[in-house]
Chains A and B, each alone.
Chain A
Amino acid sequence: MTLAKTDPDRENPSDPRSPSLARRRFAEILLGSGFLVTAVAFVYPVLRYLIPPKASDLGSDSVLAGRVGELKPNSGKIFRFGSRPGLLVRTARGEYRAMSAICTHLSCTVQYRQDLHEVWCACHNGLYDLNGRNISGPPPRPLETFEVQVSGEDIYVRRRRET
Chain B
Amino acid sequence: MISLQNLRKWLNERLDWDDLIAFSREKAVPLHRLSYWYFLGGITLFLFVIQVLTGILLLLYYRPGANEAFESVQYIMTQVQFGWLIRSIHSWSANLMIFFAFAHMFSVLFLKAYRKPRELTWVSGVILLFLVMGFGFSGYLLPWNTLAFFATKVGTDIAGQVPGIGKPVMIFLRGGEEVTGATLTRFFGFHVAILPGLMTLVIFVHLLLVQRTGISVPPKVEMEWKANPNAKREMKFFPNFLLRELMAWYVALGALGVLAAILPWNLGTKADPFSSAPAGIKPEWYFLFMFQTLKLIPAKVWFIDGEVVGVLLFAGIGMLWLLLPFFESDDPSCTKRWITGLAVFALAYMAGMSLYGQLAK
Contacts and interface: CB of A to CB of B under 8 A. Distances in A.
The answer to whether any beta carbons of A and B sit under 8 Å apart in the complex is yes
Interface of A: 1, 3, 5-6, 8, 38, 42, 45-46, 48-53, 55, 57, 59-61
Given A6-B236, A59-B71, A49 B81 contact: yes
B250 A38 contact: yes
Contact of B81 (A3, A5, A51): A51
* Interface of A: prevailing SS: loop
Contacts of A1: 244, 247
A61 to B, nearest CB: 5
A13 B31 CA distance: 27
Contacts, number: 52
A6 B235 CA distance: 6
A111 B81 CA distance: 36
A133 B35 CA distance: 74
A119 B235 CA distance: 80
11 contacts: A3-B31, A6-B234, A6-B236, A45-B81, A45-B85, A45-B86, A46-B82, A50-B57, A53-B81, A57-B75, A60-B71
Interface of B: 31, 35, 57, 60, 63, 67-68, 71-72, 75, 79-83, 85-86, 233-236, 240, 244, 247, 250, 253
Q: Which 7 A-B pairs have the closest CB atoms?
A: A59-B71, A45-B82, A48-B81, A59-B68, A53-B79, A49-B82, A61-B67
A108 B305 CA distance: 53
Contacts of A46: 57, 82, 86
A57 B82 contact: no
B34 to A, nearest CB: 11
Contacts of B250: 38
Given A55-B79, A60-B71, A6 B60 contact: no
Given A1-B244, A1-B247, A59-B67, 14 more contacts: A3-B31, A6-B240, A38-B250, A45-B86, A46-B57, A49-B83, A49-B85, A50-B60, A57-B71, A57-B75, A59-B68, A60-B71, A61-B68, A61-B71
B235 to A, nearest CB: 5
B71 A48 contact: no
B259 to A, nearest CB: 15
B71 A49 contact: no
- Find the residue from A59, A60, A61 having the highest chain B CB count within 10 A: A59
- Find the residue from B60, B75, B253 having the highest chain A CB count within 10 A: B75
A8 B239 CA distance: 10
Nearest to B65: A59
Contacts of B35: 3
